[in-house]
Amino acid sequence: MDSVKAGLFRAAYFLYTNTSAGYYYHAHNLATAERKFGSTPEGAHCAQKQFTYGNISVHVIPFCCDNYSYILVDEISRAAIIVDPGDASPVLNFFTSHPTLKVSQFFFVVAKK
């Protein structure tokens, strides 16, 4: 059963990433998000968000059209972990506006085709 699910996922992911149907599906999802969450001058996905879980705050940093970096901050020690810093400029801007944070680790997320 798991091999069937894996095969179906691979086929769907291939169609999503390599065909015009996948492009239009992605564009439809972006338009739906814009209708649901509103738009900014830069686009629907360009507003920074922050969530807090106990002593950890998660900062969502948008870049490009629909990609995100995440910065996890321990509010007690002020240590920060950067997840998927795909574009340096928005991440550097974040740390410029938060000078008390210390980067302790970063993780790159890579999608293979």
pLDDT tens string 17-53: 788 887 888 788 777 777 776 655 455 456 678 889 9
* Residue 104 and residue 61 share a domain: yes
Q: Are residues 31 and 70 in the same domain?
A: no
- 23 and 62 together in one domain: no
Overall domain count for the chain: 2
Domain shared by 76 and 113, yes or no? yes
Same domain, 34 and 67: no
113 — pLDDT class (breaks 50, 70, 90)? low
Q: Token match 């992911």: residue?
A: 13
Please give the Cα distance from 45 to 33 (Å, whole number): 8
Phi-psi region of 16 (alpha: psi -120 to 50; beta: other; left: phi over 0): alpha
For residue 57, the surrounding DSSP H or E stretch is strand 56-63
Selected residue with higher pLDDT from 26 and 68? 68
Could you tell me what percent of the chain has a pLDDT over 90? 27
Shared-domain flag, residues 67 and 25: no
Q: Domain of 24?
A: 1-39
88 and 57 in one domain? yes
